[in-house]
Amino acid sequence: MSQRDDSSGQAYWRANLRVLFICLAIWAIFGFGASILFAGPLNHIQFFGFKLGFWFAQQGSIFVFTLLIFYYTWRMNRLDREHDVHED
């Protein structure tokens, strides 16, 4: 890890928090919104033979969470390289 001044460290953490908040917002929309708040309207749509609201509550949220984990890992590795704090 190279020496950085405070401004580049702050820029790294701002970018880090931005990625984190985006992931949390997506998590909240799918985990809470699609599974609970919008379940009624989504249940009018069939997906693989199931009501879409039910599917999101049981399976869809898990898929979204898994995709978010992979996205977060990929994005943070890229961010680490951009700010020269990677481990390689």
pLDDT tens for each residue of 49-74: 888 888 888 888 889 999 999 999 99
The mean predicted confidence, pLDDT, of the chain is 87
**Per-residue confidence at 9, pLDDT binned at 50, 70, 90?**
confident
pLDDT of 15 above 70 = yes
CA distance 72 to 69: 5
DSSP state of 34: I
pTM reported for the whole predicted model: 0.76
Q: What is residue 79's predicted lDDT score, i.e. its pLDDT?
A: 94
- Determine the average pLDDT of the residues in 43-48: 89
CA distance 7 to 33: 37
Structure-block tokens of residue 20: 């984190």
Q: How many CA atoms lie within 13 Å of 56's alpha carbon, on the beta-carbon side? A: 22
Tokens 């890992």 sit at which residue?
73
Tokens 């708040």 sit at which residue?
37
- The residues, ordered by sequence, that sit 6+ positions from 33 with a Cβ below 8 Å of its Cβ are none
